[in-house]
Amino acid sequence: MQRPPARRFTPGATPDPPGPLGCYAVHFGGMERVVAVKPQSGYAIWLEYTDGTEGVVDLSDLVGRGVFSSWNDREVFEAVRVGESGAPEWPGGLDLCPDALYMEITGKSLAELAAKPKGAMSA
């Protein structure tokens, strides 16, 4: 998957729309990274981040849609792992933005997270 060019984000400014799969890291240099991921019942994943934040995200609304049709095979979904970039990834190069998942788990907005210095993004 080709990533968009890096863009700068100024805290307090309205950011451009997120990149592929809702990834905001390109706007201000990244956020916390995933250090552990485990498939859960249904089509959910449990994630743990570098700052200790952890939680479960339900991905069932993606199953069977476009590139996510590979998840119709439960074994493929359960093959999730942490990729080199700190994102959850599946066989075939499919990955999800760890930043968007972090915001889903914490309930925090991009503006709230961007206002904090890197390493101070605890939940």
Residue type, 110: L
**Per-residue pLDDT, 24:** 53
For residue 28, count CB atoms less than 10 angstroms from its CB and return exposed for 0-12, middle for 13-18, buried for 19 or more: buried
pLDDT tens string, the chain, 123 residues long: the values are 443 333 333 334 444 444 444 565 544 455 789 999 999 999 999 999 999 999 999 999 999 999 999 999 999 999 999 998 889 999 998 999 999 999 999 998 888 877 766 555 444
**CATH (residue range 32-110):** 3.30.2020.10
Quote the CA–CA distance of 70 and 18 in Å, as a whole number: 24
**Per-residue pLDDT, 16:** 44
**Per-residue pLDDT, 118:** 56
**Per-residue pLDDT, 117:** 62
- For the record, the structure tokens of 44 come out as 């959910």
Quote the CA–CA distance of 59 and 75 in Å, as a whole number: 15
**Per-residue pLDDT, 115:** 74
